[in-house]
Structure 1
Amino acid sequence: MVLAGCSSRSAPAPVESRGSTGTANRPADTGGSRAPVVNAGDSKSQSRPLNSGDPRPQTHQVSKGDTLYSIALEYGFDYRELASWNQLGDVNVIRIGQVLRLTPPGGEGGMVTRPLDSALSIEVIEGPKAVRLPYSEQALAQMKAADSKPLPTKPNVPAKPADTKPADTKPTDPKPADGKPADSKPDDKPAKTNPPGEDDENLAWQWPAQGKVLRGFNEASQAKGIDVGGSKGTAVMAAEGGKVVYAGSNLRGYGKFVIIKHNKLFLSVYAHNDKLLVKEGQQVNKGQKIAEMGDSEADQVKLHFEIRRYGKPVDPQKLLPAN
């Protein structure tokens, strides 16, 4: 759906929030919908473990201007999780007044079962099968004779000696044969790092782009992140490792943008790009190039960057290292 006026450089579309009355790509329908309605009184569908520390509500009632993408961003979820939990056949079809579940069916609790480890199997020694005999002095003698025989044991097989072939001790020449220094071209891919823990509060954030901060965080004025200036094509990098849960342009005011979910608590947003270099479902490392800076739905070339905890915007400059 093409939005009139979105391409104007003099009047960029505002970043959309749930309370906004602006329209987005396929907003909530006012008529019927194929999507089922979750009963708000169904405690099984809304259960969230006590003392989980998660401040998010258990359900969300769709209002005018909502899309599944905006709802997922608001609460810090992958939009495909919400679609699955609410059995939505079309992620673009929700209706005003519909109550959406914000927890998995049955809640997050439950018992986890694991298969037996085959390496821990128990060895069972099979003896001769018992033969039932009528009582007699001869049968008793046979049973005593059988009990006195030792159980068969496995023969001891000597271990195969290790290969003692001496290692090649020929010294290596640190220089190439032609005398020229080796090519020391750096690897443009970041080193693979372990992803953050699911409940980790202290992530090792890095700046997503090189440039001057044009506007700081101010939630009261709808500035839910910071704007970093730069030139078109400037590298936009993942501020932490995680999974790409969105890559597209279906949310008004963000242009071409990427959302990375780092763990249960945090996700980060990278907006107004010229080119997206990652796909949904892709795992990325901290420092990996994910996009190129642009001015999509913006009045100038810049990166709009957000960090959200449980979906609530927080000041990125309080978490990023000092410049």
Structure 2
Amino acid sequence: MFVLSITLILLGGCATNSPAPVFDKSRTNIKRPQTHVVIPGDTLFSIAWRYGLKYEILADHNGIKPPYIIRPSQVIRLDVAGSTALPAATSPAKTASRQPQPRVQPAPAPKPVTSRNSQIKQTPKASASPQAGQVSGAPQWRWPAGGPLLSSFQSNSGLNKGIDIGGKLGEPVLAAASGKVVYSGSGLRGYGKLLIVKHNETFLSAYAHNNVLRVKEGDFVKAGQIIAEMGSSGTDRVKLHFEIRRDGTPVDPMKFLPRR
């Protein structure tokens, strides 16, 4: 009997290790495959979004130049681990190299007229850049829908990379900030009819589960503009799934959206 009881205890201990596949699932959220084969409907932006990468780094890693055209059956290499730190490391060097230049500019005195003319020429360019989604710094965010908050951002589990906002079928979905539409379609599994808007070189936002998409890739949108109609595509109820990504990494939208 004693031997039998010990055997049952050992078997029970083995049974408690059965949740191991849960950890395997969490690892799949962290690790990514080495390559991705392009299928119809894929874009470089959607591939980068799917695997949590910055699209510029993915493009550079694969030798893809603007306007980032890819074709079905093309193999995209995803082994860019560690590369995401490169822009942050190179940008201070660029700014540091620009610091000595302003000290040289005050020296030449006989150029006040040309500098004024250059300033006049640059003024319309600066006003046009926000329309092109090239706003420097963090965008001025606003809520993309007025419904209740259904679920919040989950940074650790990876189950929810944004927030879910409730609403009724057909309610307007608004651009949370000005920018350029870089993806419009339903090629990303689990997102339904999806829009991705590029606001600048740092920030992207996504609007998922729409019923109708009102804008297309390449369109420039303004903050508060109606870009879609709320729906339930790719999910079990009417809602808007909203994400903000900084340098390709999902961040909590509640840290950027204004208080209601």
TM-score, structure 2 as length reference: 0.59
Q: CA offsets, 1:217-257, max 9 Å, x none? A: 00223210000010100100000000000000111110000
Greater displacement, 293-302 / 81-90: 81-90
> Displacement of 1:316 after TM fit?
0.5
- 1:191-210 aligned within 5 A: 194-195=130-131, 198-201=135-138, 203-210=139-146
Per the alignment, residue 216 of structure 1 pairs with 152
- 1:280-295 aligned within 5 A: 280-295=217-232
Per the alignment, residue 71 of structure 1 pairs with 47
> Displacement of 1:98 after TM fit?
6.8
> Displacement of 1:318 after TM fit?
1.1
Give me the whole-angstrom Cα distance separating, in 2, the residues matched to 1:78 and 1:279. Answer: 21
Per the alignment, residue 256 of structure 2 pairs with 319
Per the alignment, residue 91 of structure 1 pairs with 71
> Displacement of 1:83 after TM fit?
10
Q: Look up the SS of the partner of 1:245 in the other structure.
A: strand
98 and 283 in structure 1: CA distance in 2 versus 1, 3 angstrom threshold: closer
Greater Cα radius of gyration, structure 1 or 2: 1
Give me the whole-angstrom Cα distance separating, in 2, the residues matched to 1:233 and 1:209. Answer: 12
Per the alignment, residue 266 of structure 1 pairs with 203
- What is the identity percentage for the equivalent residue pairs of Structure 1 and Structure 2? 44
Which of 36, 42, 58 is the equivalent residue of 1:28?
A: 36
- 1:86-125 aligned within 5 A: 86=64, 90-95=70-75
Q: Which has the higher helix share?
A: 2
Q: Which has the higher strand share?
A: 2
- 1:1-323 aligned within 5 A: 19=31, 28-29=36-37, 68-73=44-49, 74-77=52-55, 85-86=63-64, 90-95=70-75, 194-195=130-131, 198-201=135-138, 203-221=139-157, 222-323=159-260
> Displacement of 1:71 after TM fit?
3.4
Q: Please, which runs of 5 or more residues in structure 1 have no aligned partner?
A: 1-15, 22-26, 34-65, 110-118, 121-191
261 and 79 in structure 1: CA distance in 2 versus 1, 3 angstrom threshold: farther
Task: Output the aligned Cα RMSD.
Answer: 3.9
> Displacement of 1:86 after TM fit?
2.4
17 and 94 in structure 1: CA distance in 2 versus 1, 3 angstrom threshold: farther
Q: Which amino acid aligns with 1:259?
A: I
Per the alignment, residue 172 of structure 1 pairs with none
98 and 77 in structure 1: CA distance in 2 versus 1, 3 angstrom threshold: closer
193 and 68 in structure 1: CA distance in 2 versus 1, 3 angstrom threshold: closer
Q: Is the contact made by 2:45 and 2:182 (CA closer than 8 Å) also made in structure 1? A: no
Q: Look up the SS of the partner of 2:227 in the other structure.
A: strand
Give me the whole-angstrom Cα distance separating, in 2, the residues matched to 1:212 and 1:95. Answer: 41
Aligned residue pair count? 186
99 and 285 in structure 1: CA distance in 2 versus 1, 3 angstrom threshold: same
Give me the whole-angstrom Cα distance separating, in 2, the residues matched to 1:83 and 1:245. Answer: 20
Q: Is the contact made by 1:294 and 1:301 (CA closer than 8 Å) also made in structure 2? A: yes
Per the alignment, residue 103 of structure 2 pairs with none
> Displacement of 1:295 after TM fit?
0.4
Q: Please, which runs of 5 or more residues in structure 2 have no aligned partner?
A: 1-27, 95-112, 115-127
